Each structure stands twice: as structure tokens, then as C-alpha cells.
């Protein structure tokens, strides 16, 4: 099993998305990239912790490649929005890939560069590719939040994207 960590706005929808991808065995909402240990959601919402809302994905590389996860990440949110995603503003909503190996770093950077080279979006991709930092799981009530609360996602869902 391998890990991948993505920030693409409110983690509720990001977690929900990756949970549905075949080959993904777990997706946990949490915080990473900041300087506060064991942060709470309330602290992160003050926009002073440096943390982003992220999802730590556990996947079986024999079933789904890291490239595929990165490509899905770039399709399931708008990576041209700086420090915001849809209705949510602030650095906690930044678009970021935390890489867990030199290979992940190379792949993530290559995919980002390829999108920019192809002018895949009307504006440049602003996703930052950073070495993985400590991941702090979010409070229990944030895990599987959409399912528990029967709320629609702010993000496209995997089924919608893949037409299933």
C-alpha cells in the first residue's frame, strides 16, 4: 500500500471523491503543511496555522497508479484558483500535492507542467507540489462527513466524472 496526499478545497468532497476510486482502500480528511501540531478545525479556519485541508489516500499501486490519482486530482477541482476553491476562501483551501517519494514528486510536477504546457486551463495551474509534512487527521465528525450528513458534494464525484 502507498500513500498520496491531496489538498483541493474543502476536504469533505475530496475525501468522498477518492474513496470511490477503485484501488483506493482508505481516505482520511486532515490537515498538513502548517506549523501547528495537532490542530483543530477551528484553529485552521482562522487562516493562521498554515495548514491546508488535505486528504490522505491509501492505495494499492497494483490496482491504481499514482499518475492516475494525480490526473483525477487535477480533474476533480479547479487547480487555477489560488487559495480558494469554489465557495471557500483562504490558504486552508489551497491546491497542493504533498509527495511521499522522489518518484511521486517527479510525477506530480510532470503532470502539472504538462497541463500548463498544453494550456489545458484558461489560466495557469497554481497547485504547489511539496514534500510531505506531518499529517494531522481531522476530527471524527469530519470523516465521511457528506455520507453521515447526507449532504451533496461541492466537488464533482468520481461517479459523475467517470459517467458511472
- Collapse the DSSP code of 56 into the 3-class scheme (helix H, G, I; strand E, B; otherwise coil) and give the result: strand
**What are the grid coordinates assigned to 135, written together?**
499529517
- CA 84/CA 24 separation, integer angstroms: 26
Query: 45 or 114: whose CB is closer to ligand MHO?
Result: 45
Q: Is 56 in the site for ligand MHO (CB under 6 A)?
A: no
φ/ψ of 52, rounded to 5, equals -105, 150
Task: Check residue 10 for interaction with ligand MHO (CB under 6 A).
Answer: yes
Closest approach of ligand MHO to the CB of residue 75, in Å: 20
Q: Cβ neighbours of residue 163 under 8 Å, at least 6 residues apart?
A: none
**Position 87 contacts ligand MHO (CB under 6 A):** yes
Contacts of residue 99, Cβ cutoff 8 Å, sequence gap at least 6: 5, 105, 108, 129, 130, 131, 132
Q: Is 13 helix (H, G, I), strand (E, B) or coil?
A: helix
Q: Which of 88, 105, 156, 157 binds ligand MHO (CB under 6 A)?
A: 88
Minimum CB separation of residue 41 from ligand MHO in Å reads 7
Total binding residues toward ligand MHO, as defined by CB under 6 A: 6
Q: Does 59 bind ligand MHO (CB under 6 A)?
A: no
The reply to whether 152 sits near ligand MHO by the rule CB under 6 A is no
Q: If you compute the radius of gyration of the chain from its CA atoms, what whole number of angstroms results?
A: 15
Q: Whose Cβ is closer to ligand MHO: residue 116's or residue 143's?
A: 143
Which of these segments, 7-15, 99-107, 113-121, 125-133, binds ligand MHO (CB under 6 A)? 7-15
Q: Which residues are catalytic?
A: 10
Q: Which residues bind ligand MHO (CB under 6 A)?
A: 10-12, 53, 87-88
Amino acid at each position: 500500500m502507498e500513500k498520496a496526499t491531496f489538498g483541493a478545497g474543502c476536504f469533505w468532497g475530496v475525501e468522498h471523491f477518492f474513496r470511490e476510486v477503485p484501488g483506493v482502500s482508505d481516505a482520511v480528511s486532515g490537515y498538513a503543511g502548517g506549523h501547528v501540531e495537532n490542530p483543530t478545525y477551528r484553529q485552521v479556519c482562522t487562516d493562521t496555522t498554515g495548514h491546508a485541508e488535505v486528504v490522505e489516500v491509501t492505495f494499492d499501486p497494483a490496482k491504481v497508479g499514482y499518475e492516475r490519482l494525480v490526473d483525477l486530482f487535477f480533474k476533480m477541482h479547479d487547480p487555477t484558483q489560488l487559495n480558494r476553491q469554489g465557495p471557500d476562501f483562504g490558504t486552508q483551501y489551497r491546491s497542493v500535492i504533498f509527495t511521499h517519494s522522489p518518484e511521486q514528486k517527479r510525477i506530480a510536477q510532470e503532470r502539472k507542467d504538462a497541463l500548463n504546457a498544453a494550456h489545458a486551463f484558461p489560466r495557469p495551474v497554481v497547485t504547489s507540489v511539496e514534500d510531505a509534512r506531518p499529517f494531522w487527521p481531522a476530527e471524527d465528525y469530519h470523516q465521511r462527513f457528506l455520507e453521515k450528513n447526507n449532504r451533496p458534494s461541492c466537488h464533482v464525484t468520481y461517479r459523475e466524472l467517470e459517467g458511472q
